[in-house]
Amino acid sequence: MPKLSRVFLLSVFLLSIPLTVSTHASRPDGTAWLDVYREPAARLIGEAMSSRFAWERLALLGDTFGHRLSGSRSLEEAIQWTIGEMKKDGLENVHTEPVKVPHWVRGQESLEVILPRARPLVMLGLGNSVGTPAAGVDGDLLIVRNFEELDSAGPRVKGRIVLFNVPFTNYGETVQFRGNGPSRAATLGAVAALVRSVGPAGLRLPHTGGLRYTDGAPQIPAAAIATEDADFLQRMQDRGTTVRLRLKMEAKFLPDADSFNVVGEIRGREKPDEVVVVGGHIDSWDVGTGSTDDGGGCIATWDALRLMKKLNLRPRRTVRVVLWTNEENGTRGGTAYRDRYKDQLANHVLMLESDDGLLHPSGFGFTGNDAARTRIKEIATLLRGIQLDRIGPAGDGADIGPSVQAGNIPAMSLEGDGNYFLIHHTPADTIDKIDPMDVSRASAAIAVLAYVVAERAEGLK
């Protein structure tokens, strides 16, 4: 952004301060306590919105290291890079915390129709899947649209490759077919499982993601196919055409690997042992560059601390950024954090995770008691100017979840109304989908929330 508009933006924010201060005595909504935070909030927002720093850093992360699956060299190199960069930012207590992570590798893979006429299909093996023999697994296709259809197919499932052709409604609802479908089909004798990709119809994009084998069920290979290919196969079945498929996957687990959570802080000036935690997960699936899932969440939460440091804002309590490892196929980083800090969870004032992409952030979800919700809603009024003042009914995150539950800690998550699930876990999860202004808005908003909660004498009470 040119210097002139930077000055202009700052002036707009700063000019609004005397007006708000002069009226605080008569403020009817009980938010007069916020007035001392208007000036630092305006500075944080002004600093974030006047540059593309965070977006550039996110682009650099993806361009330099690519995707970051647990066990990969690129993940560990990215982790080492974040340590160096956090130190350059002047963050304090920058360090890694060791975590053993699963090491699943995809290898070569393919899916093709072999009868009635050969043609390749677009696929991605599901994370944690077993592989096939080198020659692949052949089977006649059986398509079901829900678990009831699978169960009523009964003995017809044996020896088949089962496709769960379930159109995307929302993630929570549709993902169960990816997570549990393979074991449900295997229990009835299927030789492999396919799922229609968990996401809205795109441009022939397969979406990977983890599966969970049920204890005691045979482990069969499983993959996702593009929605267009699922529709094609459905039309063939509806016409009564027998379709024979061949699935080849080299997927396998190697021994657990060494990885790390990354931690950086702004140490609190009065109550350094009380902490506000913000963060995202540094690992990603092994396709695309994990720029929305979850490079953006890492960079935006980290940037909140960089902004505070740059503006010499040292709050009463510690603000800690954590970049968790292994969210995607194990959540080992999140559970390791809980275990490591189990005696200190009572001193966690708030945990905030950003893991919803940075595609038009629209507000935050919050889970906590009523008093804390009221405080958060009041603080969020400082974010009206960047349209991030909406506080939704529930805040959570896979990485903060274990600690939040163990310590009964108030939880927040950044939410977006962009089409996150269109590119989620696909080769299209790349930086070009993300608007630099959205990264700045997210960084600014997280900085203001974390700063005010960490600074306010009463915390969230």
Residues with a catalytic annotation lie at 327
CB of 281 to Zn ion, least distance (A): 6
Total residues contacting Zn ion by CB under 5 A comes to 3
CB of 243 to Zn ion, least distance (A): 34
What is the 8-class DSSP label of residue 161? E
Instruction: Find the binding residues for Zn ion in span 284-303 (CB under 5 A).
Output: 293-294
State the DSSP code for 189.
Answer: T
Closer CB to Zn ion, residue 429 or residue 455? 429
| 294/438 with CB nearer Zn ion | 294
Among 290, 310, 312, residue whose Cα is nearest residue 299: 290
Residue partners of 281: CB distance under 8 A and separation at least 6: 294, 297, 298, 323, 324, 325, 326, 327, 328, 333, 355, 398, 399
* Structure tokens, 129: 């899947």
Angle at 420 between CA 448 and CA 210, to 5 degrees: 110
In this complex, which beta carbon is closest to Zn ion, that of residue 318 or of residue 413? Answer: 413
Contact 320, 264 (CB under 8 A): yes
- 202's CB contacts (< 8 A; 6+ apart) are 226, 227, 422, 423, 426, 428
Nearer to Zn ion (CB atom), residue 294 or residue 303:
294
Nearest CB to Zn ion, comparing residues 33 and 171: 171
Instruction: Evaluate whether 121 touches 229 at the Cβ level (below 8 Å).
Output: yes
Q: How far is the CB of 359 from Zn ion (least distance, A)?
A: 13
The phi, psi pair for 242, rounded to 5°, reads -80, 125
Nearest by Cα to 222 from 338, 149, 139: 139
455 binds Zn ion (CB under 5 A): no
What values do phi and psi take at 354, rounded to 5? Answer: -115, 105
Q: Is 289 helix (H, G, I), strand (E, B) or coil?
A: coil
- Minimum distance, C-beta of residue 192 to Zn ion, in the bound complex (Å): 27
Binding to Zn ion (CB under 5 A) within 101-120 occurs at: none
Q: Interaction with Zn ion in 208-237: which residues (CB under 5 A)?
A: none
Per-residue x/- track, 125-144, Zn ion (CB under 5 A): --------------------
CB of 69 to Zn ion, least distance (A): 12
Do strands 348-353 and 271-281 pair parallel, antiparallel, or not at all (unpaired)?
parallel
Report 405-444 residues binding Zn ion (CB under 5 A). Answer: none
Q: Which whole-number Å values give the CA distances from 343 to 262, 321, 346, in the listed order?
A: 19, 19, 7
Nearer to Zn ion, 20 or 419 (CB): 419
**Contact (CB, 8 A) for 222 and 249:** no
Q: Sign of torsion, CA 442 444 447 449?
A: negative
The Cα–Cα gap between 52 and 179 comes to 38
Smallest gap, in angstroms, from Cβ of residue 434 to Zn ion? 14
- Does 355 participate in binding Zn ion (rule CB under 5 A)? yes
The C-alpha torsion from 403 through 406 and 408 to 413, rounded to 10°, is 30
Q: How far apart are CA 191 and CA 87, in angstroms?
A: 51
Nearer to Zn ion, 13 or 260 (CB): 260
Spatial distance between the Cα atoms of 361 and 357, rounded to a whole number of angstroms: 8
Residue 283 sits in the site that holds Zn ion (CB under 5 A): no
Binding span for Zn ion by CB under 5 A among 83-91, 203-211, 347-355, 387-395? 347-355
Among 444, 410, 460, 458, CA closest to 313? 444
Closest to Zn ion by CB, 82 vs 183, is 82
Minimum distance from residue 283 beta carbon to Zn ion (Å): 9
The first and second tokens of residue 80, run together, are 């080492």
Q: How far is the CB of 247 from Zn ion (least distance, A)?
A: 27
Residues lying near Zn ion in the complex (CB under 5 A) are found at 293-294, 355
